[in-house]
Every structure is written in C-alpha cells, then in structure tokens.
C-alpha cells in the first residue's frame, strides 16, 4: 500500500463517519453515550437538540477532512507523507481532547469508540507518512 491508498482509506472512513453523524445525530449520540431515560423536560430537550446540532457540525468537519484526504491522494510522495503525518498529529490531539473531557469532568466515562477509530487512523497516517 502506498501513501495515496492510505489517504483514500483515511478519507473514506472520515467521510463515512461524518455522514453517519449527520443522518441522525440524536440516535448517533444515544448509541455513543446512552439514551436519556424517562420523559424529557423542555430544558433537556433543548440541550439534546443543541448536542445534536454540534454533532452535525462535527460530522461536517469529518466529511471536510475526508474530502481533503481523498482529493489529495495523488500528491507527490513527499507531500503525501507530510499530509499523512500532519493528519496523524491532528488525530492524536483529537484523542487527547476526547480523553480530556473525561478528566475535566465533562462526561462520566471515557467514550471508547472514537478513541479506537482515531488510534487506528493515526496509526495508518504515521505508518505510511513516516515510512
């Protein structure tokens, strides 16, 4: 596999994640964090909808980064390596922010699926970017 294929894989995964986040953001959040139980108050509904809006923005950002990766898969080898390494660093930073939310008390448990996904993506980026 070469740098172009790695960019295609990373871009495809990011784009797919972004589409899933935008199709039904409330269901995406419930699958990730668990559903709220019982009848929701107006404030809880408002906060859930606000979270869903943020999820769609995050999904759009994932699609954007995915399109950038897919579109640039034909870069020269050195440029593609630089792009992969910079994406890998960004994914590590993103994992730090996700884990930081737990340690700062924003959530009561670590959200494992994005940590696993971004660990795999950063591994792909670093492997092919530094190879």
Q: How many CA atoms lie within 13 A of 83 on its CB side?
A: 23
Provide the whole-model pTM. Answer: 0.85
Interhelix angle 3-23/77-103, rounded to 10 degrees, is 40
Which two structure tokens, joined as six digits, stand for 8? 């295609």
**pLDDT tens digits, 74-113:** 999 999 999 999 999 999 999 999 999 999 998 888 888 8
**pLDDT tens digits, 4-17:** 999 999 999 999 99
CB 117 within 8 A of CB 17: yes
């Amino acid at each position: 596999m070469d740098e172009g294929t790695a960019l295609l894989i990373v871009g495809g995964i990011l784009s797919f994640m972004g589409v899933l986040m935008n199709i039904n953001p409330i269901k995406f959040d419930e699958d990730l964090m668990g559903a709220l139980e019982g009848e929701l108050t107006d404030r809880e509904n408002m906060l859930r909808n606000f979270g869903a809006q943020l999820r769609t923005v995050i999904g759009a950002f994932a699609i954007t980064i995915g399109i950038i990766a897919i579109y640039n898969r034909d870069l020269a080898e050195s440029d593609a390596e630089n792009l992969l390494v910079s994406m890998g660093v960004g994914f590590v930073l993103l994992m730090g922010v996700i884990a930081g939310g737990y340690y700062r008390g924003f959530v009561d448990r670590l959200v494992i699926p994005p940590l696993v996904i971004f660990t795999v993506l950063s591994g792909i980026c670093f492997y092919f970017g530094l190879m």
